[in-house]
Amino acid sequence: MSETILQTSGYVCIPYLHSHNTIELKDTWDHSKNIEDMYFVTATFSEESKPYFSSSANHYILAKFKDSKKIIKEIEKYNQDKPSFIFTMDEGLFERESQGTMNFVSVYYLEYGDSEEDVSEVANLVAKREKVGKAGVGHMDLCCTIPQKFTFPYSGNIVVLEVSSDKSHQSVNKYCEKTRRDVGRKGITLTNLVSLSILEKLK
């Protein structure tokens, strides 16, 4: 049973718009057992990913879910003109108790596939970073009423890190950037997709 949960759990980001759909979806998730935690976040897309998601929003609702199938159905029901991102974790790299409150989620993609050796190397390096409380690899689904100009080619090679720190988001972002460079020194191209700075816990 736990294996099934691991395969379908993950993170969803919906654009925080002052629209009926945003409010309805937030209310649905407020009462949903499928949603473990929910946050109000600022999203910073990397220069590499911006061309693929040019219509993205600045603020998102980030939620941690247990079942991706339910989430995708709900997103499709309340679809919007700015993209929503569903990051489903296919494999957990590690999870541990971390000091401080989770205040940052960093999403990356592996440019050259996700071979077992590469994933193992990423797991070993990230595990040495004390502020990273949880890491996983998976895939991304995109929902939007308006098609994106370009198809994102790395949606099957997603890496997500949860970071806990009492320091500023800028400081945590530098911490994540150092982690990314450490991975790069091993010959693995890990590229930032989006950084999510948590502003408020909603659930």
CATH number, domain of 89, equals 3.30.70
What mean pLDDT is reported for the chain?
A: 91
Q: What is residue 115's predicted lDDT score, i.e. its pLDDT? A: 79
| Cα distances (Å, whole numbers) of residue 193 to 4, 26, 105, 112, 140 | 26, 24, 11, 15, 11
Q: What is residue 48's predicted lDDT score, i.e. its pLDDT? A: 95
Q: What is residue 8's predicted lDDT score, i.e. its pLDDT? A: 82
Q: What is residue 123's predicted lDDT score, i.e. its pLDDT? A: 93
Q: What is residue 1's predicted lDDT score, i.e. its pLDDT? A: 34
Residue 64: Cβ within 10 Å count: 20
Q: What is residue 51's predicted lDDT score, i.e. its pLDDT? A: 94
The ranges of the chain with pLDDT < 70 are: 1-7, 113-114
Q: What is residue 113's predicted lDDT score, i.e. its pLDDT? A: 66
Global confidence as pTM:
0.92
Residue 144: Cβ within 10 Å count: 18
Distance, CA of 198 to CA of 104 (rounded, Å): 6
Domain span holding position 150: 2-201
Number of domains in the chain: 1
